[in-house]
Amino acid sequence: RMGCGFGACVGCSVKTTKGFKKVCADGPVFPADEVLEEI
Amino acid sequence: MSLTDGKKADISVELSGLRLDNPIIPASGTFGFGEEFKELYDINVLGSFSFKGTTREKRFGNPTPRIAECTGGMLNSVGLANPGIDDVIAHELPELKKIFKKPVVANISGFSIDEYVYNCERIDKEDQVGIIEVNISCPNVHDGGMAFGTSAKAAAEVTRAVKAVTTKPVYMKLSPNVTDITEIAKACEEAGADGLSLINTLMGMRIDIKTGRHILANKTGGMSGPCIFPLAVRMVYQVYDAVKIPIIGMGGVSTARDVIELMYAGAAAVQVGAANLVDPYVCPKIIEELPKLCEELGIEKLTDIIGRAHNN
């Protein structure tokens, strides 16, 4: 769920092997092996 | 009613000796460090802005989902996601200096008195910081933020500790999740606060009716947006009655009319938060509309109306 949709509010963050990313600005698609989420 | 001689309304305000071109300050957490918004408009039109709540350590914040919606507003349980004070001083602030030419409001958060002191000591050395806004009201972190803001004694302790390590104006950001916000406000004033910022978000919750589960991973979150505006008006009004120090008012402001209303209640400047997420151009729009609205209402100088509702 997103707040602003353009990277300002940090609501949609995801942990990746390359650090904290925002789904709205850096994604919404990420290489699966980079994402450090528990499903 | 309108102004005589086609005069232009003066919308400048002043906070602890700092002159702002206008009362509009984007609220902490809704504006990052200005990086995203600078792509949309020249952020130097703003009076100032309050940057993201900064803690000693870098923080991812709470697990997602950490945003939910409600009628007339939203909930967030972001939980002070920020790069940490070292990074803010080494990277964010120097970058900010390149794009924003006015004093900035530094929002400092913490989980212990020590941490507030550590962060404030360091931010005190940053030239561009005009005001330190001490967040003792984040409802999304355990033992930090709001834990200090719900006790007059704890709030006073943080205020005293921070005042001892900085010469910059210290504004305590208060939580509305208390029985009597004037009690906390008075305690902060007595402890030496130069000003107060209120209100932070109200604790709320959403449940998904298809699954019976919490929408927010953190279960609760802070509610903001137009639905809380009358609460902000009431609390600013009450605190204005109780203290002499200036108040930065906020809580659901999304129009120039809201700004005027909150200033009548007692606000010397006004923060705009959630509205930025709905319409990223809301602040420049309000800044443009304010002089026209003042003219319509016969207000020559915006500072004339601060607290004027108390005369009625």
**Average confidence (pLDDT) over B116-140:** 94
| pLDDT of residue B140 exceeding 80 | no
Chain A interface test: which of B60, B88, B272 (most A C-beta within 10 Å): B60
The dihedral region occupied by B195, where left means phi > 0, alpha psi between -120 and 50, and beta the remainder, is beta
pLDDT greater than 70 at residue A38: no
Interchain contact, B67 vs A1, CB within 8 Å: yes
B42: closest CA among B30, B50, B34, B51?
B34
pLDDT of residue B138: 80
> How many angstroms separate the CA atoms of B30 and B27, rounded?
6
The ipTM assigned to this model is: 0.90
The confidence score (pLDDT) of residue B305 equals: 98
Cβ contact (<8 Å) for B65 and A8? no
Neighbour count for residue B222 (Cβ, 10 Å) = 27
Q: Do B76 and A9 touch (CB under 8 A)?
A: yes
pLDDT, one tens digit per residue, over B39-56 is: 999 999 999 999 999 999
- Tell me the chain A residues in contact with residue B67 when contact means C-beta distances shorter than 8 Å: 1-3, 9, 11-12
**pLDDT bracket for residue B59 (50, 70, 90):** very high
Confidence of residue B147 (pLDDT cuts 50, 70, 90): confident
Q: Mind telling me how many Å the CA of A23 is from chain B's nearest CA?
A: 11
Q: Which residues of chain A are within 8 Å of residue B280 when distances are taken between CB atoms? A: 4, 6, 8
Beta strand B269-272 with B247-250 is parallel
> Closest Cα to residue A2, out of B36, B272, B74, B137?
B74
pLDDT value, residue B146 = 74
Mutate to test the interface with A, among B55, B64, B282 (most CBs of A within 10 A): B64
Nearest CA in chain B to A7: B36
pLDDT classification of B254: cutoffs 50, 70, 90? very high
- Label the pairing between strands B73-76 and B220-224: antiparallel
Q: Which of B70, B120, B138, B283 is catalytic?
A: B138
- Verify whether the Cβ–Cβ distance A13 to B74 is below 8 Å: no
Alpha carbon distance B239, B183 (integer Å): 9
B227 catalytic? Reply is no
